[in-house]
Amino acid sequence: MSLLWLRVAVLLYAFASLAVLPAALYDRPRWRHIAIPATTAAIFFHFVSLVEMLNAAHHRLPVDTHEAQSFLSLVLAIAFLFIYGRYRAISLGIFLLPICFLLGLLPAFRPGEEATAFPHHLHAGWIFLHVALLLAAYAALFLSLLASLLYLVQERRLKKKSRGLTWLPALETTDQIALKTLLFGLPCMTAGLLIGTVIAQQTIGPTYFLDPKVLLSFAMWLAYVAMIFIRRHSGLRGRRAVYLSSFVFLVVLAVWAANQLSVVHRFAAP
Amino acid sequence: MMKTSTAPGSTVVILLGINHNTAPIEVRERLAISPARLADATRALAHQPGIREALILSTCNRVELLTVQDASQSENPGTLNFLNEYLSIPVTDLKPHLYEFREREAVRHLFRVASSLDSMVVGEPQILGQVKEAYTTGREVGAVASTLEGLLQRAFTVAKRVRTETQIGSSSVSIASVAVDLARKIFDSLEGKTVLLVGAGKMSELAARHLIQQGAASILVANRTQSRAEQIAKDFNGQVIPFDHLYEQADRADIVITSTGAPQKIFGRSHGQHFLQRRRNRPMFFIDIAVPRDVDPGMNDVEGCFVYDIDDLQQVAQAHLADRSREAEAAEVIVTGEVDKYLQRLQSLNAVPVIQSLQQYAEAMRQAELRRSQSRLSTLTPEQREAVEALTRSLTAKFLHHPLTGIREAARQGDAQTLAELERLYTGQSNSKSDPPTDE
């Protein structure tokens, strides 16, 4: 049943991805009134499918790549709705909604196996929290990068006095989104890494901390903190902010990819 | 073309007016009716002989008298009389500038006016509000009844549709509003933003006024003549910055509007870098209205500084105007479709009494025939009676199907002659006054 709801959610994401185009590009309120409810409905069904999935198999966690993708998709969709509610920046949906659709596509139509690679069922709740918090931090970083890129494009457009791309959000809006998502991501990442550290300490022991993936994760955290410090301290915006966000995002991608190589910390096969 | 019925009691919609295309300001101002006099003028117009309903739209660019009159009058004496008597303007003076639209063309003109397709600046939003005010006044004095009520409500719907489905009003076409739009692209909301006026000029004051209307919180004024700066600051409830301290305090402003008569640049690239550093890279928007320019165009290369001079603003405004013209073509299509729909609906409503009359006639005939055969049907069981009832109903409905379709079609096409002929043919009378058959 959870798959059925997930499929409904994915189809709604696809529909919202199309509806958001006229809503954002041509400022058509009628389409906005379709895109936003469609996204809300998609989030609802996505959430229902997630809850059903976790209820059906007590030990089952979003720890394989497909499940993690699906969860990330849900977080991004919620973030989009939140950003729309706060800043009315519907144009972010042009990018976020298709990503939600694509991230949800494989888990919905080619789901993973039932078994999870993580055997320590006693920690299931904490593991879920660990994964959820880190995925939220990744989503926040991605949103920050996207907002920084949109800032850069809008800045260029205004400087060149170009008449195209009038749908881009205002500079201050994208700047706020970029900074606030980062600030939201920091506690998520910190808490996620701390929980992971405590669990690893109890189940694997100190050798866990010698794993390259784990070391890279802490490097990622440091880069994240440094980025926030620089942005807040110097009011970094525009081109240099994009470079910085891109660098940290690359580190995050490296950490994500390291899941496939790590001995002690890896995704279950889908 | 909608056909005008000449039956007793029928009416015709007539719109008489002048606008910026047909009359110079000298003529328009003679005809203009101030808001304070509008109610009285509307009442006076509605009381003219032959006028059943009336509404007056008076703006700086147009004065239009929309009336519903008895169709028997081929001329428009009531309205002309009103111009003569109430406004004391000889009609001969106005005739070269007046336009008159009747029925379909009047409806079309009203829809175009409400949708801002007939405005001097196509797509400007004020006209819809002005039409609504005229309508409210008309209602208040009892000059608007069913015909104008339906027509005006439709006009508001059409105007809303044009706004929603085209981008006719989405872009700014004046220098001041373009500046506001650009500021919103940088700062989103202007609430809490500070505006610095450097120099005094009409256009810079207008731009500042627009920015304040959009929520800008405070105004700083710097001018070489201190008294002039104080005067402007007083007008805007702002604060004066001594011109000598301009460079120390300019970074307080998010938006700087310059319009001095200085022969050389007031702000250079290095000033921009300095301001941005002190603002921790928070953007600044420079609107340079001065000629020669006050802001070095090189400042636009400084990250976070956005410089627009008068030519840049004018180019944006002109491009937006061209966009509006393109959107106006799409809006005209919407208006034409809506005029057709409105008139068809009116015609359908005209057919309703004929249809009702025919249905009543047929039902009365069916009942009469059943009563006549009552004695022969008395031996039937209740089920058989019901079957006979159903059979006669079905026969009547089937018989009426083609005539009713014909009536509706004739009404849709506005074919009053066919409509009357069909009514006469099937009921033996016309004008919906057919008597039901009596028992023989």
CB of B157 closer than 8 Å to CB of B170: no
- Give the mean model confidence (pLDDT) for residues A129-151: 88
- Tell me, yes or no, whether A168 and A267 share the same domain: yes
- Tell me, yes or no, whether B161 and B189 share the same domain: no
CB of A220 closer than 8 Å to CB of A255: yes
- Give the mean model confidence (pLDDT) for residues B326-337: 92
Per-residue pLDDT of A58-75, as tens digits, reads: 555 555 667 778 888 999
Question: What token pair was written down for B85?
Answer: 């008597």
Q: What share of chain A is helix, strand, coil (3-state, %, to 5)?
A: 80, 0, 20
**What confidence score (pLDDT) does residue B123 get?**
85
Does residue A197 surpass a pLDDT of 70?
Answer: yes
Does residue A199 surpass a pLDDT of 90?
Answer: no
- Give the mean model confidence (pLDDT) for residues B193-222: 85
* Residues of chain A found within 8 Å of residue B280, distances taken between Cβ atoms: 234-235
- Tell me, yes or no, whether B34 and B62 share the same domain: yes
- Give the mean model confidence (pLDDT) for residues B234-246: 89
CB of B158 closer than 8 Å to CB of B338: yes
- Give the mean model confidence (pLDDT) for residues B272-294: 89
CA B296 to chain centre: 43
- Tell me, yes or no, whether A44 and A82 share the same domain: yes
Q: Which of B187, B303, B316 sits opposite A170 (nearest CB)?
A: B187
- Give the mean model confidence (pLDDT) for residues B247-272: 90
Last residue of a domain, one of A115, A146, A162: A115
Say which CATH number the domain at B31 has.
Answer: 3.30.460.30
The verdict on a CB contact (< 8 Å) between A27 and B279 is no
The total number of residues shown for chain B amounts to 440
Last residue of a domain, one of B165, B193, B211: B165
The verdict on a CB contact (< 8 Å) between A154 and B185 is yes
- Give the mean model confidence (pLDDT) for residues A95-112: 85
CB of B55 closer than 8 Å to CB of B135: yes
The chain A residue lying nearest B300, using CA atoms, is: A159
Q: Which of A148, A154, A167, A159 has its CA nearest to residue A247? A: A148
Active-site residues of B, by number, are 60
**What confidence score (pLDDT) does residue B275 get?**
93
- Give the mean model confidence (pLDDT) for residues A161-170: 85
Does residue B48 surpass a pLDDT of 50?
Answer: yes
Residue with the bigger pLDDT between B338 and B347: it is B338
Does residue A114 surpass a pLDDT of 50?
Answer: no
Residue B337 lies in a domain: no
Residue B347 lies in a domain: no
Last residue of a domain, one of B106, B131, B165: B165
Question: Quick count: other Cβ atoms within 10 Å of Cβ B254?
Answer: 23
Name A67's bridge partners.
none
- Give the mean model confidence (pLDDT) for residues B240-267: 89
* Buried/exposed code over B269-308 (b: 16+ C-beta within 10 A; e: otherwise): bebbbbbbeebebbbbbbbbbbeebbbbeebbebebbbbb
- Tell me, yes or no, whether B142 and B86 share the same domain: yes
Does residue B376 surpass a pLDDT of 50?
Answer: yes
- Tell me, yes or no, whether B106 and B243 share the same domain: no
- Tell me, yes or no, whether B15 and B145 share the same domain: yes
Residue with the bigger pLDDT between B208 and A113: it is B208
Residue B335 lies in a domain: no
Last residue of a domain, one of A70, A95, A115: A115
**What confidence score (pLDDT) does residue B299 get?**
93
* Residues of chain B found within 8 Å of residue A172, distances taken between Cβ atoms: 186-189, 283
- Tell me, yes or no, whether A100 and A123 share the same domain: no
Share of chain B above pLDDT 90, in %: 30
Interface test with A, best of B168, B170, B185, B310 (most A CBs within 10 A): B185
- Tell whether B188 is within 8 A of chain A (Cβ): yes
* Residues of chain B found within 8 Å of residue A154, distances taken between Cβ atoms: 185
pLDDT tier for residue B211 given thresholds of 50, 70 and 90: confident
**What confidence score (pLDDT) does residue A58 get?**
59
CA A157 to chain centre: 28
**What confidence score (pLDDT) does residue A41 get?**
96
- Tell me, yes or no, whether B156 and B179 share the same domain: no
**What confidence score (pLDDT) does residue A100 get?**
93
The domain in which residue A158 lies consists of 117-270
CB of A104 closer than 8 Å to CB of A6: yes
pTM: predicted TM-score of the whole model, two decimal places: 0.69
Distance from CA of B188 to the nearest CA of A (A): 5
**What confidence score (pLDDT) does residue A61 get?**
59
The verdict on a CB contact (< 8 Å) between A170 and B186 is yes
Interface test with A, best of B188, B190, B276, B312 (most A CBs within 10 A): B188
pLDDT tier for residue B148 given thresholds of 50, 70 and 90: very high
pLDDT tier for residue A42 given thresholds of 50, 70 and 90: very high
- Tell me, yes or no, whether B296 and B419 share the same domain: no
**What confidence score (pLDDT) does residue A262 get?**
61
**What confidence score (pLDDT) does residue B425 get?**
74
- Tell me, yes or no, whether A168 and A247 share the same domain: yes
Cα distances from B79 to residues B37, B67, B86, in angstroms, run 17, 8, 10
Q: Which of B170, B186, B315 sits opposite A158 (nearest CB)?
A: B186
CB of A177 closer than 8 Å to CB of A83: yes
Cβ contacts of B305-314, under 8 Å, gap ≥ 24: B305/B272, B305/B275, B305/B276, B306/A158, B306/A159, B306/B182, B306/B186, B308/A161, B308/B179, B308/B182, B310/B175, B312/A161, B313/B175, B313/B178, B313/B179, B313/B182, B313/B287, B313/B289, B314/B175
Does residue A13 surpass a pLDDT of 60?
Answer: yes
- Tell me, yes or no, whether A19 and A75 share the same domain: yes
CA B111 to chain centre: 7
The chain-wide mean pLDDT, for chain B, equals 84
pLDDT tier for residue A57 given thresholds of 50, 70 and 90: low
**What confidence score (pLDDT) does residue A60 get?**
55
Does residue A119 surpass a pLDDT of 60?
Answer: no
- Tell me, yes or no, whether A143 and A263 share the same domain: yes
Read off φ and ψ for residue B102, nearest 5 degrees. -125, 145
Residue B44 lies in a domain: yes
The ipTM, to two decimals, is: 0.81
- Tell me, yes or no, whether A103 and A42 share the same domain: yes
Does residue B8 surpass a pLDDT of 60?
Answer: no
- Tell me, yes or no, whether B253 and B138 share the same domain: no
Last residue of a domain, one of A85, A115, A145: A115
- Tell me, yes or no, whether A247 and A224 share the same domain: yes
- Tell me, yes or no, whether B127 and B46 share the same domain: yes
Per-residue pLDDT of B99-136, as tens digits, reads: 999 989 999 999 999 999 998 888 888 889 999 999 99
Per-residue pLDDT of A201-231, as tens digits, reads: 877 777 777 777 778 888 888 888 888 888 8
pLDDT tier for residue A198 given thresholds of 50, 70 and 90: confident
Distance from CA of B127 to the nearest CA of A (A): 22
- Tell me, yes or no, whether B151 and B15 share the same domain: yes
The verdict on a CB contact (< 8 Å) between A27 and B185 is no
**What confidence score (pLDDT) does residue A265 get?**
62
Distance from CA of B306 to the nearest CA of A (A): 6
Chain A residues with at least one Cβ partner in B under 8 Å: 26-30, 87, 154-155, 158-159, 161, 163, 168-173, 234-239
**What confidence score (pLDDT) does residue B349 get?**
65
Does residue B386 surpass a pLDDT of 80?
Answer: yes
Residue B327 lies in a domain: no
**What confidence score (pLDDT) does residue B314 get?**
85
* Residues of chain A found within 8 Å of residue B304, distances taken between Cβ atoms: 237-238
Does residue A121 surpass a pLDDT of 60?
Answer: no
The verdict on a CB contact (< 8 Å) between A234 and B303 is no
The domain in which residue B376 lies consists of 352-427
Q: What is the DSSP letter of B85?
A: H
| Total count of domains within chain B | 3
- Tell me, yes or no, whether B207 and B297 share the same domain: yes
Does residue B2 surpass a pLDDT of 50?
Answer: no
Question: Quick count: other Cβ atoms within 10 Å of Cβ A241?
Answer: 26
- Tell me, yes or no, whether A163 and A259 share the same domain: yes
Share of chain A above pLDDT 90, in %: 30
Last residue of a domain, one of B165, B195, B227: B165
Does residue B55 surpass a pLDDT of 90?
Answer: yes
- Tell me, yes or no, whether A193 and A128 share the same domain: yes
pLDDT tier for residue A111 given thresholds of 50, 70 and 90: low
| Total count of domains within chain A | 2
- Tell me, yes or no, whether B36 and B152 share the same domain: yes
- Tell me, yes or no, whether A57 and A87 share the same domain: yes
**What confidence score (pLDDT) does residue B350 get?**
67
Per-residue pLDDT of A156-165, as tens digits, reads: 999 998 877 8
